[in-house]
A and B are shown apart, each in its own frame.
Chain A
Amino acid sequence: MTTASGEIDRTPAVTALRHKDLLGIADLTPGEIALILDTAEAMKEVATRPIKKVPALRGKTVVNLFFEPSTRTRTSFEIAEKRLSADTLNIAIGTSSVVKGETLADTALNLEAMSPDMIVLRHSASGACHLLSRICRSAIINAGDGMHEHPTQALLDAFTIRERKKDLAGLKVAIIGDLLHSRVLRSNIHLLTKMGAEVWVCGPPTLMPTDIRRFGVTPTSVVDEAVADADVVMLLRIQLERMEGAYFPSLREYFRVFGMTEARLRLAKPDVMIMHPGPMNRGVEIASEVADGPYSVILDQVANGVAVRMAVLYLLAGGAEHEEAA
């Protein structure tokens, strides 16, 4: 919308998120996605201030409940929470009662008894956040559940793309890597297709989810096809353990067939963006020259992670109008 003086009015059509939790991009409308990204823009500016803090979530308690090790995502959430003046509590598995055999449900109920306003959960089982959402009144933010979704990653990816390309609609985005096991892939597919991008996914057939076309993407095992004229190329991490599952013969072979090299990069558009959720395996999914090259926005992604997570925390902290824990 343009105002009388010609300024672009980024007033989003949607002013609130419908659900009390953020469990996945699958549950968000394009309007809600735009709201989060627009709010993140405002949040990004807080990092440029001398005092990088605003009182918006003052007095709110946020628990970071991480059942999987993660430095990057956890610190990103923690910084985001602190910038909003929330009280944060980090619980890393290995130092808690779950090691003593307590179930996820009981851990959550015990936490809930201490009234946290929000729980940020990362867990190795798909659907763990859904389980928590049914049990807890607190707002649940999915920081990665098994192979299912990693919504804040997809949101920060979209934010990073939008910064350069202004609009996601119509862009060709190629996602290359272990598509089968990747929660980042699923979240990105949902988000990019909802916002009108053309998504190509590429990897060996052994690492391709069943019925991938039903997700609205174009699958291929030929990396040159995926990269041709791409606006954005996203590389997904290859886990070294996959070799044991006979998904592909060796990392060397994977790099030869699917790795993002400078030569392959030349097939993409001249202003292509190279993205990676991290941590990277240099020489496996991405060549070092590409990771460190001029097209890489990998470090921007990390910086944007804080702003996007601040936006999510802020928008969920008000609570949803009509949702309550069942």
Chain B
Amino acid sequence: MKKLLKGGRVVDPANGIDGPYDVLIDGDRIARVGRDLPVDGAEVVEIPPGFVVCPGFIDMHVHLREPGQEHKETVATGTASAVAGGFTAVACMPNTSPVNDNANVTSLILAKAAEARLARVYPIGAVSKGSKGELLADIAELRDAGCVAITDDGHPVATALLLRRALEYAGMFGMPVIEHCEDQTLKGDGVAHEGFHAASLGLRGIPGVAEALGVERGVLLSELTGSAFHVAHMSARASLRAVRKGKDIGVRVTCEVAPHHFTLTDEALGAPIPYDTNVKMNPPLREAADRDAMLRGIVDGTVDAIATDHAPHHYDEKKVEFDRAPFGIVGLETAVPLSLDRLVHTGLIRLPRLVELMSTSPARILRVSGGTLSEGAPADITVLAPDLRVRIQASALRSRSKNTPFDGWELRGGVAATIVGGRTLFVNSDARFGL
């Protein structure tokens, strides 16, 4: 089965491509990218003018909640949400119930993904058994079962010693250690960014430095061990500085930023809805200087990837006092409009850089295929409609959970279609795209 995507703007920074090209798909692979390709029996898809064809976006930080918390999300609903958001692949976190610290849980996740046949799923395994921070998990077993990285996400690896061991051990397989960087004693029982807004509302604060301390620890240990260390959901300007310093001296550190950390600040705690639990996540929304630092990092290359930290929570769980609400918001279906509207249309970055952030770099960091439209690469493609008017509607999200602070936002730019392995899994009816 051949498909010819004709007439779009193809942006594939890995191959230095940005311009009007045709893309020929053969089965589940990219056959060719070139100008005016012959039809030759392929099904022709006319890409409307202005639309952009890119290597499929990969969200390297997603909570699929299965096994154990299916009331919030399942692999099936999560991957449906992913393709609706333009993602052809997601990497899912191990803080399920039970924790993904063994081959059985990993296999379950992959089986569910195969059943759903939507976005690709790359499981991330735990660093320690039960993520308790005491003994290393069976990392080789996890790798053989299909895990691409390890993390104790939800909290940092318990001790510097254990993190060092994890880096050394996982380094054997070239697996990165992904870390939720945070000094737990400074975090205490904080629920919001330590600053004026939390102080006004009487909410216990978490200083930005708590995250930065964790980043510094990881960078130094990465330097010591020579292994790859990835900072999850970076939010604080001091963290950015630490990553920059590390990169400058050649440390193998990478980092990701979530869209909410480059669009919102802690002002959202008080308005429009005071104590809105859809504004509660960890790391928290920080002050303007931190948000601006994240933007700078995105522009100057210090930030490697955009990842959503998609964290679904059931409505009942969030409809409580701010202190008691669980941390996290969903993000798969809002990431692309937010990124296009706030990064590309503001002139901060151009499309090739966006594709790097959302496709090429995640693929490289996780060492999975994808991130390019090279010949023979999997036919994972995201088609963007950069001028589409998008209105975020929480109730219409395909995720099982609707905990987003972006309900009602009007943004410019959205996903037109998502193709995984040559199969079109999502078409945005609003884009009026005949696929």
Contact = CB atoms under 8 A, between A and B. Distances in A.
B324 A125 contact: yes
Given A105-B319, A125-B323, A130 B275 contact: yes
A145 B323 CA distance: 11
Contacts of B195: 210-211
Interface string B170-200: 0000000000000000000000001110111
Given A210-B205, A214-B196, A125 B319 contact: no
For the complex, would chain A's binding face be called helix, strand, loop or mixed by DSSP majority? mixed
A131 B320 contact: yes
A211 B319 contact: no
A140 to B, nearest CB: 13
Contacts of A214: 196
A145 B202 contact: yes
Contacts of B324: 125
A198 B133 CA distance: 51
Nearest to B195: A210
Contacts of A123: 321
A127 B274 contact: yes
A210 B322 contact: no
Contact of B274 (A104, A130, A147, A211): A130
Contacts of A124: 323
Contacts of A130: 274-275
**Interface size bracket, B side:** 20 to 34
Contacts of B196: 210-211, 214
**Interface size bracket, A side:** 20 to 34
A215 B275 CA distance: 19
Interface in A203-226: 209-212, 214-215
B105 interface: no
A117 interface: no
Contacts of B321: 104, 123, 125-128, 131
B201 interface: yes
A26 interface: yes
Contact of A210 (B199, B201, B323): B199
A264 B316 CA distance: 52
Contacts of B202: 126-127, 145-149, 183, 186
Given A131-B275, A210-B194, A126 B323 contact: yes
Interface of B: 194-196, 198-205, 274-275, 316, 319-324
Interface of A: 26, 103-105, 123-128, 130-131, 145-149, 183, 186, 209-212, 214-215
Given A127-B322, A211-B196, 11 more contacts: A104-B320, A105-B319, A123-B321, A124-B323, A126-B202, A130-B274, A131-B319, A145-B202, A148-B203, A210-B194, A211-B199
23 contacts: A104-B320, A123-B321, A124-B323, A125-B323, A125-B324, A126-B203, A126-B323, A127-B201, A127-B203, A127-B275, A127-B322, A131-B275, A146-B202, A146-B323, A147-B204, A148-B202, A148-B203, A149-B202, A183-B202, A210-B199, A211-B199, A212-B199, A214-B196
